[in-house]
Structure 1
Amino acid sequence: MKYTKLKFKSSSTKPHDFIGSKIRGVLGYALKEEVCINPSFKCENCFALKDCIFYKFYEQKNITHKYRLDFELRSDKFEFAFLLFGDAIKHKDEIKTALLKSLKEYQDVVCEEESLIFASNDYSSIVKLEFLTPLRMKKDNKFVKDSIDLIDILVSINRRYYELTGEDFERLNVSKDYNIITKHLNYKELTRKSNTQKTKMNLGGVMGDMVITNIDKKSYELLKLGEIIGVGKSTVFGLGKIRVEGFNG
């Protein structure tokens, strides 16, 4: 799976603990200015919607957005990455330019670009799975707060992979003989103000970690893929960031 990572760094102090809402917000304004060729500056009935990256990222409904934000929640450094997948990769230059313009209030902002291919060449049957930003996921039509299971996470990653790549969907086929031997989870409340919907949006989710034994190779590969593409809902704001540490013995 190919993807592009745009890494932004600034010598300024991080403005907020959770910067996902701010980054997505300022990018929206700057990206529209960068790419819009419609004299009316409106998306409705626009002749250029088919290949407009602003429309795909911000206005098009009921689609999987082919990008996500990645940052450290508990860090004072103002650093983040913008990961692009699928056909969004071809718009990397417009996105890079728009983000640099939108962050001009901060000092010495630089961007490093990497073109990468995901590959998991290792395997461990024992893993520590950490949820580094809130994991927002529904189960039985309710947002999970503490009852999350490994299979829920794997299903989410598997579905997201096919949505991002456009490949024909294949149902998850992994061993369920794993054991969760420790689980330390908590629910972190997060809200953001939506200028579009004129209301507060809940971005709360599960954080913490769990240790799992006896997982099969396919499950391990999916978890490593989840480190790249994110897990659950609202990954465009930086939610669903996980880290997988494998060890044997």
Structure 2
Amino acid sequence: SFLTISERGSPIALHDNHIRLPERYPTQAHIQLLTPLRIRQKGRILRETELTQAVFLRQLLRRYLTLAHLHWGNHANAAELSAQIGGQGVPPRLSWHEHRRFSNRQKQITPLSGAIGTWQLTDLPPAFSQMLYIGQWLHLGKETVFGNGQYRIIQAA
């Protein structure tokens, strides 16, 4: 636990700053997308009907490897991990959530829309199951800095 002083001088409450990883990881997980998931491919945001388990896992891998390299000094083999992505999974139950914000810098409204809902991921390789668990704190996709791409594992098997 640690104590930090905010910009205004008020203390931030003491809190546990460690993630306790499970000893075993499931091959299936039911997740809930809590905030809009925005995954860009070929210059455009994928709609809820275009999202597949493979697309989701590739995004998860990209996010994990970027942060692992920058913060943990981990230099995992991206090609080897990417080759493990397989399985079609269960079609997600997603809907499109419209959301916008006003950018003071750009002086215009910018979109934060994306897919929300539930998803049953199947045939998860152990490395991806662990990444999925850690990704609950990392978020996925575009605009994670605004809270987008947050999900929670609601059931694991």
Could you tell me the TM-score, scaled by structure 1's length?
A: 0.53
- Partner residue, 1:150: 53
CA 1:212–1:158 in structure 2 vs 1: closer, same or farther (change >3 Å)?
Answer: closer
Point out the more displaced range, 140-149 or 112-121. 112-121
Point out the structure with the larger helix share. Answer: 1
**In 2: Cα distance, 1:139 partner to 1:129 partner:** 22
- Partner residue, 1:125: 27
**In 2: Cα distance, 1:193 partner to 1:123 partner:** 40
Point out the structure with the larger strand share. Answer: 1
Contact 1:124 1:246 in 2 (8 A): no
Q: 2:40 aligns with which of 107, 130, 138?
A: 138
- Partner residue, 2:96: 187
CA 1:213–1:164 in structure 2 vs 1: closer, same or farther (change >3 Å)?
Answer: closer
SS at match of 2:18: strand
Contact 1:230 1:242 in 2 (8 A): yes
Could you tell me the TM-score, scaled by structure 2's length?
A: 0.80
Unaligned runs of 5+ in 1: 7-91, 102-108
Contact 2:60 2:135 in 1 (8 A): yes
SS at match of 1:128: strand
Q: 1:170 aligns with which of 49, 61, 77?
A: 77
| Identical columns (%) | 23
Total equivalences in the alignment: 150
Contact 1:180 1:211 in 2 (8 A): yes
Map 1:95-114 onto structure 2 (within 5 A).
96-98=5-7, 111-114=13-16
Shift of 1:116: 0.9
**In 1: Cα distance, 2:23 partner to 2:60 partner:** 18
Contact 2:61 2:82 in 1 (8 A): no
CA 1:162–1:218 in structure 2 vs 1: closer, same or farther (change >3 Å)?
Answer: closer
Contact 1:174 1:218 in 2 (8 A): no
**In 2: Cα distance, 1:216 partner to 1:121 partner:** 15
Q: Is the counterpart of residue 210 in structure 1 residue 136 in structure 2?
A: no
CA 1:99–1:169 in structure 2 vs 1: closer, same or farther (change >3 Å)?
Answer: farther
**In 1: Cα distance, 2:96 partner to 2:8 partner:** 31
**In 2: Cα distance, 1:154 partner to 1:99 partner:** 40
CA 1:151–1:191 in structure 2 vs 1: closer, same or farther (change >3 Å)?
Answer: same
1:72-94: CA deviations, max 9, x gaps? Answer: xxxxxxxxxxxxxxxxxxxx83x
Unaligned runs of 5+ in 2: none
Amino acid at match of 2:130: E
Q: 1:244 aligns with which of 139, 143, 153?
A: 153
Contact 1:126 1:211 in 2 (8 A): yes
SS at match of 2:145: helix
SS at match of 1:98: coil
Q: Is the counterpart of residue 233 in structure 1 residue 135 in structure 2?
A: no
